[in-house]
């Protein structure tokens, strides 16, 4: 496929470029565009064939539902059969932003988008370029992360080209995604509501409006038996090519254990995903990457996927990753790390 590249400056959005992208969506084409979380691979959510092309381009399992992206809250009414008060409250507080809501779908939403479920996932992104595109076309755009299924998500234009450069009609270069991990997903079709995927909007944030909200136990202790309502629930996600292991516990003991294992495996090319507080404490490591300060978990979330892709670039054999406390956005970071490691977590250090 001859992929068109459209570069857009977020501080100087050109209307003619937005209209070209909008037209492409209306014609059933595949467009990669930036959001504040990660880059998305989008198609017209009302076009079944276009949505099927998303699954083909990504190599995505057909039972993994897609998220619909919208520009205005008024669009929700035609996509769902009912809007509970809790949904209205969450929309008012967190939209536009990195929060996805699962609601009962209307007849207008196809089974291709929902993977045959009677629920639909919807969000309103805050990225200026995404908002301009969505407002111009006024279509619900189905868009999972713009990467080959199972690989770390893409947070930059260059990473999108690596995965999908020849498989889509348009790639929009809108700079780096700020948040760096996918949106929080909240299921409002169950009582009490449940967080199915953590993100920048944390459980603590949502509890202000929904005090009884629960968290899917599979977020950290994942199960392959779940029927996924949300992307990321069932299949191996965010995974680098090399085996990855995460170490959780007292930080000094974590560093000591990683150094010990690195020495034992010195015949392998080893990468360590460390933090500002420990980056100078590692030895016998071929690739040492600094995720950021433990005092700034948003920085660590923003860097995680790019660091995992750096490990792929360097063709390492084994990756050791420091773990984090499972609270606030730390729960979101650990969710991605656990899936990247395929559940290989060393606890109790």
Residue range 43-96, pLDDT digits in tens: 999 999 999 999 999 999 988 999 999 999 999 999 999 999 999 999 999 999
Class of domain 243-346: alpha beta
4-219 CATH, one of 1.10.10.10, 2.60.40.10, 3.90.870.10, 3.90.1310.10: 3.90.870.10
Q: Residue 145, annotated ligand binder?
A: yes
Q: Residue 278, annotated ligand binder?
A: no
Q: Residue 127, annotated ligand binder?
A: no
Q: What is the pLDDT along the chain (349 residues), one digit of tens a residue?
A: 899 999 999 999 999 999 999 999 999 999 999 999 999 999 999 999 999 999 999 999 988 999 999 999 999 999 999 999 999 999 999 999 999 999 999 999 999 999 999 999 999 999 999 999 999 999 999 999 999 999 999 999 999 999 999 999 999 999 999 999 999 999 999 999 999 999 999 999 999 999 999 999 888 765 545 555 666 555 557 889 999 999 999 999 999 999 999 999 999 999 999 999 999 999 889 999 999 999 999 999 999 999 999 999 999 999 999 999 999 999 999 999 999 999 899 987 7
pLDDT in tens, 121-138: 999 999 999 999 999 999
Tell me the domain boundaries of the chain: 4-219, 243-346
What whole-number distance in Å separates Cα of residue 77 and Cα of residue 68?
Answer: 13
- Residue 51 CA to its chain's centroid (Å): 18
What whole-number distance in Å separates Cα of residue 71 and Cα of residue 119?
Answer: 20
Four-residue CA torsion sign, 126, 132, 137, 143: negative
Q: Residue 183, annotated ligand binder?
A: yes
Q: Residue 265, annotated ligand binder?
A: no
Question: Hey, which residues does 214 pair with through a beta bridge?
Answer: 194
> Quick one: which of 150, 141, 182 has its CA closest to 29?
141
Q: Residue 64, annotated ligand binder?
A: yes
- Note whether 4-219 and 243-346 share their fold: no
- Other beta carbons less than 10 A from residue 90's beta carbon: 22
- Other beta carbons less than 10 A from residue 27's beta carbon: 11
Q: Residue 110, annotated ligand binder?
A: no
- Residue 112 CA to its chain's centroid (Å): 20
């Amino acid at each position: 496929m001859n992929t068109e590249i459209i570069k857009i400056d977020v501080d100087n959005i050109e209307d003619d470029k937005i209209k070209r992208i909008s037209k492409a969506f209306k014609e059933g084409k595949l467009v990669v565009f930036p959001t504040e979380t990660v880059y998305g691979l989008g198609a017209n959510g009302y076009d079944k064939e276009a949505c099927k092309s998303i699954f083909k381009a990504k190599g995505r399992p057909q039972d993994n539902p897609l998220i619909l992206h919208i520009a205005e809250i008024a669009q929700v009414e035609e996509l769902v059969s009912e809007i509970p008060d809790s949904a209205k409250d969450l929309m008012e507080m967190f939209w536009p932003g990195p929060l996805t809501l699962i609601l009962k779908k209307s007849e207008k939403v196809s089974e291709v988008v929902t993977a045959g479920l009677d629920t639909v996932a919807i969000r309103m992104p805050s990225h200026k370029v995404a908002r301009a595109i969505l407002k111009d076309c006024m279509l619900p755009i189905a868009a999972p992360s713009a990467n080959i299924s199972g690989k770390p998500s893409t947070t930059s234009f260059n990473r999108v080209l690596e995965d999908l450069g020849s498989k889509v009609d348009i790639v929009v270069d809108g700079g780096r995604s700020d948040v760096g991990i996918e949106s929080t997903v909240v299921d409002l079709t169950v009582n009490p509501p449940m967080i199915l995927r953590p993100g920048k909007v944390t459980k603590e944030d949502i509890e202000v409006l929904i005090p009884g909200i629960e968290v899917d136990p599979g977020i950290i202790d994942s199960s392959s038996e779940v029927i996924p309502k949300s992307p990321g629930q069932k299949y191996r996600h965010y995974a680098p090519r090399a085996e990855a292991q995460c170490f959780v516990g007292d930080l000094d003991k974590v560093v000591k254990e990683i150094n010990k294992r690195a020495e034992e495996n010195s015949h392998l090319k080893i990468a360590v995903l460390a933090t500002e507080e420990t980056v100078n404490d590692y030895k016998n490591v071929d690739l040492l990457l600094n995720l950021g300060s433990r005092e700034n978990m948003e920085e660590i979330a923003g860097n995680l996927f790019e660091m995992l892709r750096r490990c792929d670039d360097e063709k390492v054999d084994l990756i050791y990753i420091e773990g984090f406390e499972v609270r606030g956005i730390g729960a979101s970071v650990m969710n991605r790390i656990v899936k990247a490691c395929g559940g290989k977590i060393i606890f109790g250090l």
